[in-house]
Amino acid sequence: MSEQRSAARGEAHGALRLWTPAPEGDRVRFAPDPDDRYAVVDDLEAAHVILVLDRWPQVDGVGHLVFTEHPQVRSFRVSTFQRHVDARRAQAGQPAPDRALRVGDVFWVRAGDDPRWNDPRRWQLLDVTASARRAAHAAQVVAVNPAMRLREADVAHESSGPPSPEGPRRPPAGAAASTV
Amino acid sequence: MSVPQRIPADHFTARDLVGELKERPDALAHFVLNVGDGDAQVVLLPTDPVAEHRRAVVVDAGRDKPLSLIAALTAEGLLPGVDDVALVVATHPHQDHIGAMAEVLAGLGDRVAEFWDPGYFHPIGAFHRMMAEVERRTGLLYSHPASGLSRWIGRTGITVLSPSIHLRNRFDTYGVEINDSSLSMRLQHPAARVVTRDEAGNVVDKSSSEVSLVLGGDAQTLSWSYVLTDFPFLMKSNSASSAAIAAATGDVDLLRADVFKVSHHASKRGVNLELMERIRPWASVVSCGPDSPRYHFPHDLAQEILREARDPRAGSGGQRSERDWEVRIYYTADRDTDGRALGTVVTVLEEGRRPQVWRLGDTPGRSVSVAALRKARRLDNR
């Protein structure tokens, strides 16, 4: 069992820069800013959605998403947030714009004129679920086996190089089935 | 939700919990820390006769409060400060359970031998920070246990109750609700394997005097349904095979426990009556905020199930008291009749002795200090 953890990651993780995933959509206009938020559906409890709002992450030289601050947690009515998400997905030409919210969905959000993050109807928003889930899965795989590199783990590393000639990589099976 | 009834202030006696634990090296102490809406627990194991010191197990870190408790226990000599955190468990990757896990792992450093999580990935920042800390700690043994795994730490046994492998194999999809990915565990002390035979080789049934905990994570109905299947109660009968099974298992329900850390903060899907009747806890402990505006816990339905399991009245027409402390249901959000927060719930369990309940009087945002341990409040047994 100790073999599993024996390979230390010796390399430096390199300089940080803002994570820039490539969400699907025909009309995606997307340039993250450090003040933006990375909003995750952490729970759906009765009629409420619990959102965890982390500051928009950076990505290091080997593809780790780096979160440095503790998040804000907000609770909204599911129906209100769902309507706003559906409208924004449709506006960006994202697939399955009316897909029901699920725990683990992730959105890039910009506060607009709601600096306290209390009214999601005033937020700019984009669904980045597929990329974010792929990155979380890769972080787990690499933690299990530090000898593995993030690229080997098929990580979202979209901001590190030119787009693949084959187009966007497919997300893992589960995420693909639900988000595309 | 219904706000817990206040516990009479005169039911408590100010006592020194540190002194109590020093005098009783064979006692186990289970701390359900008051972190508001969230979970953070520490189990201080009895003194290991080989290692000659205690060890701790940390279960969840919705806030970094386990760090302050372990620092206080170390300062008071109840933990040696080296190689003494046998296991850290992240039951599932919800923010209210792993929000400070990276800080706890970093703060405990090389004291931690082993880390478990259920293997469920969740894209919140806290999950990335936790995984980065695990990746950094290459000396750490990291596992994704599923139901049935048994692990012994000194004379204490840990059995993983959930997640069932049925659920684990569906984690990489949206097919399992995140709460149902929870690692739940049963701890028993002393573990049966080390006490089932005496020096002459005879089977000794000490299972009736073992102390035990069931720590429920946020497991919900689906997960518990697999637990009830995977851990059947093989009841005593007169058949030869039954007698053999009884000799091997002590004829004890594999889910029974002295203390149940109620799953999912007593949400309406966190417990069911069948489960509670199997566990039959001496005390149930609920971790929840004082008014839980975000999650609305505890839920009336779950509270009624906890009460019914302790004091069956359904269908009899009898009036049930909602003074939950009378049937030993405790909430981290409890207050006494003077309005003082009772905070962290500590149960002290020892083979052959009556359990004790202590309260540390802390609020969610405050760390646990040596003074809080030295001036704890012990609930009188009534």
Residues 6+ apart with CB under 8 A from B9: B336, B337, B338, B340
A133 is a domain residue: yes
A5 is a domain residue: no
Mean pLDDT, rounded, for B121-146: 95
- Please count the structural domains in chain B: 1
B59 is a domain residue: yes
Name which of B116, B128, B267 to mutate to probe chain A: the one with the most chain A Cβ atoms within 10 A of its Cβ. B128
Give the ipTM.
0.88
Q: Please say if the pLDDT value at position B120 is more than 90.
A: yes
State whether residue A48 is helix, strand or coil.
strand
pLDDT of amino acid B171:
83
Classify residue B236 by its DSSP letter: -
Residues of B in contact with A75 (CB under 8 A): 293-294
Q: Please say if the pLDDT value at position B226 is more than 80.
A: yes
Q: CATH no. for residue B343?
A: 3.60.15.10
Task: Judge whether B344 and B332 are in contact, CB under 8 Å.
Answer: yes
Mean pLDDT, rounded, for B353-382: 94
Residue A136: in which H helix or E strand, if any? Answer: helix A129-144
Mean pLDDT, rounded, for A99-127: 94
CA max distance for chain A: 52
B119 close to A (CB below 8 A):
yes
CA A26, CA A89: separation in Å to the nearest integer? 10
pLDDT of amino acid B199:
73
B336 is a domain residue: yes
CA dist B79 to A32, B20, B43, B72, B212, Å?
A: 47, 15, 12, 9, 21
* Structural domain harbouring B134: 9-379
pLDDT of amino acid A75:
94
Lowest mean pLDDT among A97-106, A133-142, B166-175, B183-192: B166-175
More confident residue, B79 or A9: B79
pLDDT of amino acid B46:
97
A127 is a domain residue: yes
Strand partners, B162: B184
- Please count the structural domains in chain A: 1
Q: Which amino acid is at A50?
A: I
Residue B246: in which H helix or E strand, if any? Answer: helix B240-249
B1 is a domain residue: no
User: Residue B94: closest CA among chain A residues belongs to which residue?
Assistant: A42
In this prediction, residue B192 has a pLDDT band, given cuts at 50, 70 and 90, of low
Mean pLDDT, rounded, for B173-185: 88
Q: Phi, psi at residue A99, to the nearest 5°?
A: -60, 135
A36 is a domain residue: yes
B4 is a domain residue: no
CA B212, CA B230: separation in Å to the nearest integer? 18
pLDDT of amino acid A154:
56
More confident residue, A163 or B333: B333
pLDDT of amino acid B381:
74
More confident residue, A12 or B190: B190
Mean pLDDT, rounded, for A159-176: 40
Mean pLDDT, rounded, for B272-297: 85
Q: Please say if the pLDDT value at position A168 is more than 70.
A: no
% of chain B exceeding 90 in pLDDT: 72
Q: Please say if the pLDDT value at position A157 is more than 60.
A: no
B136 close to A (CB below 8 A):
yes
Per-residue pLDDT tens for B41-76?
999 999 998 999 999 999 999 999 999 999 999 999
B3 is a domain residue: no
Query: Where does residue A69 rank: exposed (0-12), middle (13-18), buried (19+ CB within 10 A)?
Result: exposed
Strand partners, A164: none
B174/A177 Cβ within 8 A:
yes
* Structural domain harbouring A25: 13-179
In this prediction, residue A22 has a pLDDT band, given cuts at 50, 70 and 90, of confident
A152 close to B (CB below 8 A):
no
Instruction: Give the start-end residues of each E strand in B124-235.
Output: 141-143, 150-153, 156-162, 184-189, 211-215
Q: Please say if the pLDDT value at position B354 is more than 90.
A: yes
CA B357, CA B30: separation in Å to the nearest integer? 10
Q: Phi, psi at residue A75, to the nearest 5°?
A: -120, 130
Q: Please say if the pLDDT value at position B201 is more than 90.
A: no
A63 is a domain residue: yes
In this prediction, residue B188 has a pLDDT band, given cuts at 50, 70 and 90, of very high
Token reading at A91: 């506006």
Give the strands of the sheet with B85-89, arranged side by side: B12-15, B376-379, B353-359, B345-350, B28-32, B40-44, B56-61, B85-89, B114-116, B141-143
Q: Please say if the pLDDT value at position A153 is more than 70.
A: no
Q: Please say if the pLDDT value at position A11 is more than 80.
A: no
**Pseudo-torsion of CA B338, B339, B344, B346, nearest 10°?**
20
Q: Which amino acid is at B210?
A: E
Task: Judge whether B323 and B331 are in contact, CB under 8 Å.
Answer: no
Nearest to B123 among A1, A40, A143 (CB): A40
Q: Please say if the pLDDT value at position B273 is more than 80.
A: yes
Task: Judge whether B8 and B336 are in contact, CB under 8 Å.
Answer: yes
B188 is a domain residue: yes
State whether residue A140 is helix, strand or coil.
helix
User: Residue A50: closest CA among chain B residues belongs to which residue?
Assistant: B294
Residues of B in contact with A102 (CB under 8 A): 174
A6 close to B (CB below 8 A):
yes
Token reading at B308: 């019914």
CA B26, CA B215: separation in Å to the nearest integer? 20
Task: Judge whether B42 and B70 are in contact, CB under 8 Å.
Answer: yes
CA distance B170 to chain A (A): 9
Task: Report B:172-231 residues touching A (Cβ under 8 A).
Answer: 172-175, 177-178
Q: Please say if the pLDDT value at position A107 is more than 70.
A: yes
In this prediction, residue B91 has a pLDDT band, given cuts at 50, 70 and 90, of very high
Mean pLDDT, rounded, for A101-113: 94
In this prediction, residue A177 has a pLDDT band, given cuts at 50, 70 and 90, of very low
In this prediction, residue B251 has a pLDDT band, given cuts at 50, 70 and 90, of low
A3 is a domain residue: no
In this prediction, residue B173 has a pLDDT band, given cuts at 50, 70 and 90, of low
pLDDT of amino acid B253:
84
Summary mean pLDDT of chain B: 90
| Side-chain-side CA neighbours of residue B354 (13 Å) | 6
Distance, C-alpha B154 to centroid of its chain:
18
Which residue bears the tokens 């296991």? B87
In this prediction, residue B314 has a pLDDT band, given cuts at 50, 70 and 90, of confident
Mean pLDDT, rounded, for A91-97: 92
State whether residue B293 is helix, strand or coil.
coil
Task: Judge whether B8 and B374 are in contact, CB under 8 Å.
Answer: no
A21 is a domain residue: yes
Q: Please say if the pLDDT value at position A171 is more than 60.
A: no
State whether residue B115 is helix, strand or coil.
strand
B80 is a domain residue: yes
pTM for the complete prediction? 0.90
Q: Of B276, B239, B244, whose CA–CA distance to B261 is shortest? A: B276
Mean pLDDT, rounded, for B224-250: 78
CA B137, CA B295: separation in Å to the nearest integer? 34
Which residue bears the tokens 């909602």? B322
